[in-house]
């Protein structure tokens, strides 16, 4: 049983819609990963800032003692 022209067009449209839905799903997953990476970078940056402040305080104390 061969598909007529309408069936072929309908199949193409459904396939295209399925491809769009799948690509959007992948896009959302990638965006979530990027957001997680960004949050980890922010956490690391805040830890670095805290360590820098500790070092600066320690250097100031050293200068006052001398």
Domain-embedded: residue 32: yes
The whole-number pLDDT of residue 50 equals: 97
pTM of the model: 0.64
- Specify the number of domains making up the chain: 1
Confidence of residue 1 (pLDDT cuts 50, 70, 90): low
In a domain, 18, yes or no: no
**Does 43 reside within a domain?**
yes
Q: What is the extent of the structural domain holding 62? A: 27-66
With pLDDT > 90 as the criterion, what percentage of the chain qualifies? 82
Q: How far apart are the first and last CA of the chain?
A: 96
Q: Is residue 14 part of a domain?
A: no
Q: What is the DSSP letter of 1?
A: -
Residue 60 lies in a domain: yes
For residue range 5-64, list pLDDT tens digits in order: 999 999 999 999 999 999 999 999 999 999 999 999 999 999 999 999 999 999 988 877
Structure tokens, 7 = 């069936």
CB 27 within 8 A of CB 35: no
Within a domain: 47: yes
- Whether residue 36 is contained in a domain is answered as yes
């Amino acid at each position: 049983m061969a598909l007529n022209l309408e069936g072929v067009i309908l199949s193409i449209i459904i396939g295209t819609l399925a491809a769009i839905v799948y690509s959007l799903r992948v896009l959302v997953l990638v965006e979530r990963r990027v957001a997680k990476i960004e949050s980890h970078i922010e956490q690391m940056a805040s830890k670095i800032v805290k360590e820098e402040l500790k070092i600066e305080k320690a250097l100031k104390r050293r200068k006052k003692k001398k």
